[in-house]
Structure 1
Amino acid sequence: MTDLNETTQTSWQAFLTEQGAQLDEHGKIVTFGHAEVERYLIKHGPVLTSLNEQALLKVSGSDAFDFLQGQLTADLAEVTDQNAQLSSYCDPKGNVLAVFLIFKYQNDFYLSFEGSLQSAIQKRLSMFVLRSDVQVTDAHDHLVHIGYGGEFGDLDIQRRLNTKVKEVYETGLVEMEGMEQVCVVKVPGPYHKYDLFGPADQIQQAWLKLRDNCDFTNSQDWRLLNIAAGIPEITRANSGTLMAQFLNLDKLNAINFKKGCFPGQEIIARIHYRGKVTKRMLRLHLEEALSLSAGETLKLKDSAGKTHSFDVISANPDVLSGTRCLAVASLKPLESVEGNLMTESGKAAIIEPMPYSLTDE
């Protein structure tokens, strides 16, 4: 990920340090000093964290809409000042290069995604601009990104920031003096969960307002909320390795099959209309504490001793014990499994229901 603008980086990281955050070299919050408590608190919230290590690109210019409409899988016509969306960027083979949260802010489009992909995605998008009036720039020079969530997070956002953003992917601006440029986006989660973007000084004010009624958590454990919601995270380790449907992007309304061409559209559409999706992303709870990273292969055994391979998408230590992860696996071999799958050391591995249906119509 490219360096943040010096002024924005310095002021925001100094602010986080004042709040007690311990940061790694990428700007991720390792802990606020109570790691085990931070993980436990995330179960119900309310919790607050910095997500500024995520990539954030601004796509501007008179041709920005047409350009993105021809590059991404979802229908950009659905992105307005009041509505964001989940979308993806694929290669010509239909393999996913990145998964984006897209929102509109001050008449420009913004793409939020995993930080390790910032340079590669910015370079690739810019390569296809050609003679269009489109500029693809790093937005970290003027916007900071934080996350907030909890069982009553919608009421907290309304009461503390005077902003009604109730439905998933609904967006709005904070209606309080000194924070009018803070954009609030409701995103999927096990409870009410929000991404906030804005200038560093205004985000600091929003942070302090929300802090009155919540606790801090770290960047790593925030991932548990995305795992619970079944939202895939594509990183440098697995970019370009999996088909869009394998990541359930069709079930997450991140693919529009009627809008026209985009990279990989022909193959993705063929699978949708003519074939059956052979692999799906599943949510697993492992009773064993395993250190798993995106791009790794997790091998689990069934009661008959047969080995099943899972491509890890994201993983994190669970709140109380064990490991929770998202991983892609072939469906047909799993249909005949009786009882729990097991890790190589014999601990149970349970396939949990997703918060959305995986059944093909």
Structure 2
Amino acid sequence: MPPATQQTTESSSPVDTPIFYPLEHLAILDITGTDALTFLQGQGTQDYLKRLPQAPLPGAFCTPKGRVVANVWNILLSTEPSTVKLVIERSAADTLKRHLGKYIPFFRGSKLTDESQALHGLGLSGPEAGHWLTRVLGKGSNDVWRKGGHFAFSLPDGRAQIWLSALADDYETLMEQIENSRVHPAADWQRLDILAGYPWVNASLTGEFVPQSIGLEQLDGISFNKGCYTGQEVISRLHYKGQSKRGLQRLRWQGDATPAGPEVYTATGTAGTWINWVADGEQCLGLAMVKQSADAPALYLDSERQIPLELLD
């Protein structure tokens, strides 16, 4: 599979071509089988039986203590048998596969597969994205497009992801068209995710957060009406009887400095933990889990308190 193009190129394609972004930081897990939705219903925070057939949905898989193993986008491609694609941060894919692998043997009708090497991910943005997807993959249904081994889905902010099968006959042709089009760096896509408030929990952050503290409740990534699932008791108790003392914040700073460690600093201590960030001298943005406080103390990128952070929320 050829590497995704990183440089920005001028458009030499028709006006109905969107901007493309390589998604090398993301990966795909596939769960297929007659009882795949039932299996996922008992593991994830989303309502797979009632809501997933309607549209792609965010969600997470958690430990019995309610801590996020990894967060995902859930995409239902077929129902008989069910095929669900999980888009996940690449470094966390193996961790989630091992986690789900402990439970899937009890569901003999389902199979869990890592498809990261077989599918090539690209982000799409711009008003032309939907038209391009329809032209290439045909008419979509419930914000999902599918043709052969390729699939795509739309995001709530109007962007889309497309995953091209490297085994498809038209793969090389499509990649050549895309690489001769408008291709922007992966960092630009990550900025858009940050601005949308969508986090990606990588392998180093597994088991650190409850879903509410990384904003999944606000993103409609947690169902509180479904039955039991792994970690559900802790997550529901926090929702109904308490309030998370930590929440997701979008942050911006000047310059090209990057976080030296996981800490977000206050004038006298620390306030939270970095989840994702992009800093390349153009627009430095990040998502951090920050302690909620009525007095909203000043926040800093560095331990020397020389680089202030601006809250975007």
What amino acid does structure 1 have at the position aligned with 2:296?
V
Partner of 1:170: 143
Does 1:296 find its partner at 2:262? Answer: yes
Query: Is residue 292–residue 316 contact of structure 1 (8 Å, CA) maintained in 2?
Result: no
Give 1:136's aligned residue.
112
Q: Is residue 264 from structure 1 mapped to residue 231 from structure 2 by the alignment?
A: yes
Q: Is the 8 A contact 2:263 2:274 kept in 1?
A: yes
Is 1:350 aligned to residue 310 of structure 2? yes
CA contact (8 A) 2:66 2:232 kept: yes
Once residues 308 and 131 of structure 1 are traced to their aligned partners in structure 2, the CA distance between those partners, rounded to angstroms, is 43
The Cα of 1:298 is off from its aligned counterpart by 2.0
Aligned to 1:279: 246
Unaligned 5+ residue runs, structure 1? 1-11, 22-30, 39-44, 175-179, 354-361
What is the TM-score normalised by the length of structure 1? 0.74
Structural mapping, 1:120-135, within 5 Å: 120-133=95-108, 134-135=110-111
The 3 A distance-change label for structure 1 pair 290 and 67 is same
SS at match of 1:140: coil
**Is 2:38 the partner of 1:54?**
no
AA partner of residue 199 (structure 2):
P
Q: Which residue of 1 aligns with 2:159?
A: 193
CA separation of 1:129/1:65 partners in 2, compared to 1, >3 Å: closer, same or farther? same
Alignment of 1:99-114 (within 5 A): 99-106=71-78, 107-114=82-89
State the 1:283 CA deviation.
Answer: 0.3
Q: Work out whether residues 288 and 348 of structure 1, in 8 Å CA contact, stay in contact via their aligned partners in 2.
A: no
- The answer to whether residue 52 in structure 2 is matched with residue 79 in structure 1 is yes
CA-to-aligned-CA distance 1:30-76 (integer Å, 9 cap, x gap): x33x6xx99xxxxxx94313325522111112221111100000001
Which structure is richer in relative contact order (CA contacts within 8 A, separation 6 or more)? 2
Does the 8 Å CA contact 2:263/2:270 hold for their aligned counterparts? Answer: no
Deviation at 1:139, TM superposition (A): 1.8
Gap change, CA 1:291 and 1:151, over 3 Å in 2: farther
Q: Distance in 2 between matches of 1:206 and 1:173?
A: 15
Q: 1:225 to 1:318 in 2, by over 3 A?
A: farther
Identity of aligned residues (%): 23
Contact 1:92–1:264 (Cα < 8 Å) also in 2: yes
Q: 1:246 to 1:203 in 2, by over 3 A?
A: farther
Which residue identity lines up with residue 241 of structure 1 in the other structure?
E
Higher fraction of helix:
1
Q: 1:345 to 1:132 in 2, by over 3 A?
A: closer
CA distance in 1, matches of 2:68, 2:120: 26
- Quote the Cα distance in structure 2 between the aligned partners of 1:310 and 1:277: 13
* CA RMSD, 1 decimal: 2.8
- 1:326 lines up with 2:298 in the alignment: no
Q: Identify if the C-alpha distance between structure 1 residues 329 and 125 changes in structure 2 by more than 3 Å, giving closer, same or farther.
A: same
> How many equivalent pairs are there?
298
The 1:105/1:254 distance shift into structure 2, 3 A limit, reads: same
**Structure 1, 273-282 or 97-106: larger mean CA deviation:** 97-106
Checking the alignment, whether the CA contact within 8 Å between 2:137 and 2:145 is kept in structure 1 is no
CA contact (8 A) 2:134 2:140 kept: yes
Name structure 2 gaps, 5 residues minimum. 11-16
